[in-house]
Structure 1
Amino acid sequence: MKMTIKQRYKITFRGYRILGKYCPGLIGFKIIGSIIESISPFINIWVSAQIINVIANDKSINKLFMYVLLAVITNFIFAIIKNVVDRISGVKEASMWDCFSKIFCDKQMSVDFVDLENVEYQHLKQKAEENLFMFGNGLAQLVWDTPGMINVIVSILASTALSISLFLADSSIKWLNSPAWILVVFLLIVIEGYILDKSKKKEQVIFSKWSDGSVWFNRAFDFYGQNLDLDLQRAKDVRIYRQDKIAENEINKMIIHNMREDGLITKMSYYQGISSFSAGVINALCYLFIVLKTYFGAFPVGNMVQYVGTLVKMTENFGNLTSALAENKIYCQHLQKLYEFLDMSGQDVAEHKTKLFDSMNNPIKKELHIEFRNVSFKYPGSDIYVLKNVSAKFDEGNKYAIVGQNGSGKTTFVKLLCRLYEPTEGEILLNGYNINEFDFKEYLRYLAVVFQDFQLFSFGIGQNVAAGIDYDPEKVELSIRKAGISDRVKNMPEGLETCLYRDFSENGVEISGGEAQKIALARAIYKNAPLMILDEPTSALDPIAEAEVYSSFDNIANSLITIYISHRLSSCKFCDVVTVFDKGMIVQRGAHNDLLLDVEGKYYELWNAQAKYYHTKHKKSLRKE
């Protein structure tokens, strides 16, 4: 799709607004540095011309000294300013990539959670990241090309100002004084710009072919050349199954493929050579015109130096202007891909719902009641319901178990309750009010969740448990004691300040999956929220550690309502109400013992399947002994 100048203007200045937000000051310092860099050569050209004229004509020592001093002082001041500006912009540019990452982080946090799992969202995100980080296109190109554009504009204006007298000065040859020479020189400059533009377009077509192949190459090489060998999670399989041999074979294929692409680079060089040759010819013609006017007495020899320098600069910069406009078209196309990603999806539910309740006004005082009322859910663009007509109440003071086979809808149920998803149909009520009527951040205060795929971070133990920079040490210690990991933490080198993992600290501690799960459980306990949701909280624990957690379950689950999700049905004995999911629907609900009486029910089937497994496993263990 062809872009108009107006569209390119909007795209470019939106890019500047994004840079102003995420990289404040970077473009401003780049522009200041470019203006200084652009003006300096013309000051030197003008001063040099004046010095030559003084030497060749009146030979005034005072004038000569004045011009030399002017040149020295001007260059000294400009050099100091330029050095300061370059240092500042250099520091800002060095952190530019981290700032760009923040763009994606902010987008990730602003969209509906369900969109994060959307294939189209992931595809657009990948394309935007590849354009930005793999080739430096889009925003980075805008940063790098802005000084060039400023240089072109300033240089053309300065060249025009210093060249006007070339056409006004009369020589002894009348035909050299014709105003038509202004048009001739201008046409030569336009022709050079046209040739450069055509060469640039041809070069860009080839570059697009080359970059399309390079995206695949870089992505594949990143996996086979780095991730496969360096990722510790894959290390065991790589060694045992010698997957490094597969990687080596794939890398050799890619290298051969990439060598074939070298011909495209040669073609790009060919078009660069054409534009350079044409620029040389046009500069020579302009130089001849100036020499003739000088020879026939239109102006002193010093002025010839000024005009040669300025016309060469003008020709060069008109060509650069064409090139800059062509580059602008290129990075506008890449910026469009970034904008497609940034403009995708609505804002998070936290942003686009009317809030009736916040921290100053909420209906939760003493009691807590949650109700799913005819809730159904299907993913956007899908006709298949993951949950269908789910209705259930959860009252204060009770512990609830959610059970069911994989894919029965348990995790979706949790995500709906956490407002990561919104119901397709029906509503979820908190004390009689739709949960979307609450301020999102305020609503999250009521929840303490341990997800099945929970994440800990490379911070200190205390910060991980408190989920914040500042924390109450006594409260953290109480939480880790309830979670059953107090002894392990006490033996760590820096206690609660011990950093998990070694991403940022050489003294960081690597922990097992079970230990990590207990710390995640301590984090939920520390929050002391009215509603606690535990999604497979003992899946990484051994049977003894799991039994310890169950035995202290009343102490751990100190929230008003606790919802426990597990594949291990032995946990249901500790809960007041068991809710059984099957194929996206609630098929049974009641106490553990009552549900076992229904021999035709799903819960009886699940319970006996697991009991049979453990019984068989116990028999095998006895035989071995």
Structure 2
Amino acid sequence: MKKTFEIAEHQRSLASNVCFLMRYAARIIPHYYLLQVLHLIAAVSLYYLTVWIPQQAVALVQQEPSFSGYLMGLFGPLALFFFSNTGRDWLRLYLEGRSEGSFSLISYDLHRRILETDYENIDGAAGQMKVRQALAYISENNRIFETLHLLLPSLVIFLLFAVQLFRVDVWILLSILLTSFLVWQMGQRSNQAIFQKEQKIQETLRKGQYLSDKGADYSYGKDARFYSIPRWFSTLYEEILAKVRRLAAQIFLHKLRYLTGVELLNVARNLLAYFLVLRRFYAGAMSLPEFIFYMGVVHKLSESFDTILTSLKSLQLASRKVDQIRDLLALNDHTRRDGTTFPEGFFQKPLALILEHVSYTYPGAEHPTIDDVSLRIPMGQKLALVGLNGAGKTTLIKLICGLYTQDSGTIRVGGLSRDEVDLNQWFSLFAVVFQDVYALPLSLKENITAGAALDEDKLEHALQSADLSALTRRLSAGLETKLVKSVYDDAVDLSGGEMQKLMLARAIYRDAPFLILDEPTASLDALSEERIYRAYHEISAQKTALFISHRLASTQFTDRVILFEDGKIRQDGTHEALMQQKGPYRTMYQAQSHYYSSDAVSKTPPAEDPCHDF
């Protein structure tokens, strides 16, 4: 059965997600759970004292003590109030301030998981959307702990005062519970609608972020001025902002309807509860101090329940977002990650690359991108994999490198399949230069060594082989020069050709048995491409090399050419042999040959069918 790599969506309980966050907070704050208990005790004591102290004050007045006796009678309760209030505030400030650091820890774990999980888990538009949403939610959830510190004491106070009212008049308690239940139901429906609207806003803002990024990219400045791009950007921006405003207005209306309904129910609840308490007082069932106390209990019970509902509403919305974060952290890998290394003597034998009946279909696609491909590449062979865009060349390379897992068939190196060793061990077999090249915001040297141990001789060899030595001499900081100017003020941004050389230097420094170049010159003109492939050919003299391109400059320097079409091998042979055949390779080469050197063109035999439809 075809595997799917969509990120599984789970809706966990609110308690589960709160415990998840608290576990992260406990990794940041020493004695976290003890401090939470102390905060809870201080907060509950404070709430209770605000109701009990007025009762004691009235009771003392009725006893007609002296003024000093009255003050002494209130000194103890007021001292307790002061210490409870101060302790609660200090603990809350400390816990909330330190708890926010837990989101940095979550962000670290999330980024690390994204970088380490199977590439297929996060590849594609759907996977990238999940990643962006989860990362955005981290920054939105920094008030969760503040909400928790309101919710937990309110829950305890509600239970405590509910018992008090139940003992006095069950109808008072039932009236509060009934109206509060209606408020809860309204909040549930409101939450669901708001979350769906916020999801749509996130999807819309993703498009706006792309426009924002490109609008701020100075490399687009020349085109923007010549081709009326600002008007195009403005039109798209206005459409996006209009949609966001519509969705925001809908969210506002949901919140307005909810708040209006809540306020009406709260008024009805409080009037009913106060009426029932007053009736008992005038019926002689309560003394004046008791009346004062239970009026305070009704008020605090209603207030605590409002806090519970508001907090739960906020936490439920946040919990849906925490689900997204936990879904990414809980991604299942389908590759081997147990540290298994290559068997002894593995690198002393010929490392032929063999594909047997390999097929691969992207999730949701109707037809396979790689369709029953069998291929053997002997050690040391230089192979050019060519074909039109979309033929499946890059997908095949991802399968070979271990980024994708084939649906059927086997891929072996030296008789060993990818599943027989740890995935990172398999990665170590390949030095790859992909189509899209990016410099990391590190030094030039760190970009070349890419986390590997520094070897000065290897580094010098990589610099010379990639023709980067002259560049490093021109830079004032040499190899310590920082790259990516948008991150460091004193950094430099490399040109396209310099970036190609940097990626080549990194691949040379890696010194892997297989060198794979996946359309690394797609943005260059044909003559520049030919010069770069000549350099690649010389550097890969002692390695097995695969050159992937839809252009054919690479084929003159390889031992073998494979033309890929619709996920299948259409032609396989040397450049000379394929040029003798009346096939698509010859037609394609002839169509491109006038872009290359005159020497390359002179080697091309005349075509008998120049109008062949490739």
- What range describes the TM-score normalised by the shorter chain of this pair? 0.7 to 0.9
Aligned partner of 2:539 among 547, 556, 560: 556
Aligned length: 587
Q: Which residue of 1 aligns with 2:260?
A: 273
Whole-Å Cα distance in 2 between the matches of residues 9 and 535 of structure 1? 40
Maintained 8 Å contact 1:196/1:323: no
Q: Say if 1:462 and 1:473, in contact at 8 Å, map to a contact too.
A: no
Tell whether the 8 Å contact from 1:23 to 1:99 is kept in structure 2 after alignment: no
Superposed displacement of residue 243, structure 1 = 3.2
3-state SS of the aligned residue for 1:487? helix
Deviation at 1:511, TM superposition (A): 0.8
- Inter-partner Cα distance in structure 1 for 2:598 and 2:504: 31
Preserved contact between residue 402 and residue 565 of structure 1 (Cα < 8 Å) = yes
Are the counterparts in 1 of residues 197 and 247 from structure 2 also a CA contact under 8 Å? Answer: no
Partners of 2:260 and 2:44 lie apart in 1 by 25
Residue of 482, 491, 496 corresponding to 1:508: 491
Secondary structure class of the residue paired with 2:461: helix
* Structure 1 SS opposite 2:154: helix
Secondary structure of 1:307 counterpart: helix
Q: Is the 8 A contact 1:194 1:322 kept in 2?
A: no
Partners of 1:560 and 1:615 lie apart in 2 by: 26
- Does 1:472 pair with 2:455? yes
CA distance in 2, matches of 1:10, 1:116: 22
User: 2:61 and 2:161 mapped to 1: Cα distance?
Assistant: 24
Q: 1:388 to 1:247 in 2, by over 3 A?
A: closer
Relative distance call for 1:568 and 1:425 in structure 2 (3 A) is: same
Distance 1:358 1:58, change over 3 A: farther
Q: Which residue of the other structure, out of 183, 187, 207, is the alignment partner of 1:200?
A: 187
Partner of 2:65: 59
- What's the counterpart of residue 243 of structure 1? 229
User: Does the Cα contact within 8 Å between 2:468 and 2:501 map onto a contact in 1?
Assistant: yes
Aligned-residue offset at 1:521: 0.8
C-alpha distance in 2 between matches for 1:430 and 1:83: 62
Q: What's 2:588 paired with?
A: 606
Q: 2: CA distance between counterparts of 1:208 and 1:219? A: 17
Matched, 1:310 2:297: yes
For residue 498 of structure 1, report the CA deviation from its aligned partner. Answer: 1.4
Determine helix, strand or coil for the equivalent of 2:346.
coil
Which residue of structure 2 lines up, in the alignment, with residue 177 of structure 1?
A: none
RMSD in angstroms over aligned alpha carbons? 4.2
Instruction: Note closer, same or farther for the CA distance 1:220–1:556 as it changes in structure 2 (3 Å cut).
Output: closer
Change in Cα spacing, 1:347 to 1:307, as seen in structure 2 (3 Å) is same
| 1:380 matched to 2:391 | no
Question: Structure 2 vs 1, CA of residues 118 and 228 (structure 1 numbering), >3 Å: closer, same or farther?
Answer: closer
Q: TM-score, normalised by structure 2?
A: 0.80
Distance across 1 between alignment mates of 2:47 and 2:356 = 75
Is 2:82 the partner of 1:82?
no
Deviation at 1:431, TM superposition (A): 1.4
Letter in 2 for 1:45: V
Q: Give distance in 2, aligned partners of 1:529 and 1:220.
A: 39
Deviation string 1:394-424 (CA, Å, 9 cap, x unpaired) is: 2223333222332333212211110112223
Deviation at 1:276, TM superposition (A): 2.4
Cα distance in 1 for partners of 2:411, 2:493 equals: 40
Q: Name the residue aligned to 1:40.
A: 46
Instruction: Give distance in 1, aligned partners of 2:408 and 2:200.
Output: 45
Q: Deviation string for 1:155-202 (max 9, x for gaps)? A: 1134347668xx6xxxxxxxxxxxxx5112112212331342354356
Encode CA deviations 1:497-539: one digit per residue, 9 max, x unaligned: 2111123311111111111111111111111112221223444
User: For 1:450-480, what per-residue CA distance to the aligned partner results, in whole angstroms no more than 9, with x for missing partners?
Assistant: 1112332111111111111863344323312
Taking a change above 3 Å as real, the CA distance of residues 553 and 231 of structure 1, as seen in their structure-2 partners, is closer
Instruction: Answer whether contact 2:39 2:87 (CA < 8 A) is retained.
Output: no
Task: Give the whole-Å Cα distance in 2 for the aligned partners of 1:107 and 1:239.
Answer: 38
Instruction: Structure 1: state its 5+ residue gaps.
Output: 1-7, 168-180, 620-625
Shift in Å, 1:488: 0.9
After the TM superposition, which residues 68-147 of structure 1 pair with which residues of structure 2 at under 5 Å, given as runs?
68=75, 71-72=78-79, 75-76=82-83, 79-80=86-87, 82-93=89-100, 96=103, 99-100=106-107, 102-103=109-110, 106-107=113-114, 109-111=116-118, 113-118=119-124, 121=127, 132=137, 136=140, 143=145, 145-147=147-149
In terms of mean alpha carbon deviation, does 247-256 or 391-400 score higher?
Answer: 247-256
Structure 1 position 67, deviation (Å)? 4.3
1:570-609 alignment runs, 5 A limit? 570-596=553-579, 598-609=580-591
Q: 2:157 aligns with which of 151, 155, 158?
A: 155
Give the conservation status (yes or no) of the 8 Å contact 1:37–1:151: yes
The answer on 1:349 being equivalent to 2:335 is: yes
- Is contact 1:33-1:86 (8 Å) kept? no
Residues 107 and 135 in structure 2, CA contact (< 8 A), matched pair in contact too: no
Q: Once the 2 structures are TM-superposed, how far is the Cα of residue 326 of structure 1 from its aligned partner? A: 5.7
Pair 1:230-2:212 in alignment: no
Structure-2 change in CA distance of 1:454 and 1:615 (3 Å): closer
Q: Secondary structure at the match of 2:454?
A: coil
Q: Which amino acid aligns with 1:59?
A: P
**Kept after mapping to 2: 8 A contact 1:553/1:574:** no
Gaps of 5+ in 2: 1-9, 602-614
CA gap of 1:486–1:362, structure 2 versus 1, over 3 A, is: same
- The TM-score normalised by the length of structure 1 is 0.78
Distance of 1:599 and 1:217 partners within structure 2: 52
By how many angstroms is 1:219 displaced? 4.8
- 1:199·1:272 contact (CA, 8 Å) conserved in 2? no
Return the letter of the residue paired with 2:396. F
Superposed CA offset, 1:329-366 (max 9, x none) = 6566666666777777x524234xx98x5156573334
Alpha-carbon spacing, 1:388–1:297, altered in 2? closer, same or farther (3 Å): closer
CA distance in 1, matches of 2:356, 2:254: 66
Q: Residue 369 of structure 2 contacts residue 395 of structure 2 at CA under 8 Å; is this kept in 1? A: yes
Q: Is the 8 A contact 1:189 1:319 kept in 2?
A: no
Counterpart contact for 1:531–1:559, Cα < 8 Å: no
SS at match of 1:422: coil
Question: Quick one: which of 393, 412, 416 aligns to 2:395?
Answer: 412
Amino acid at match of 1:182: D
- Alpha-carbon separation, structure 1, partners of 2:192 and 2:419: 50
SS at 1:15 equivalent: helix
CA contact (8 A) 1:39 1:158 kept: no
Residue equivalent to 2:177? 190
Equivalence for 1:430: 413
Q: 1:50 corresponds to which residue? A: 56
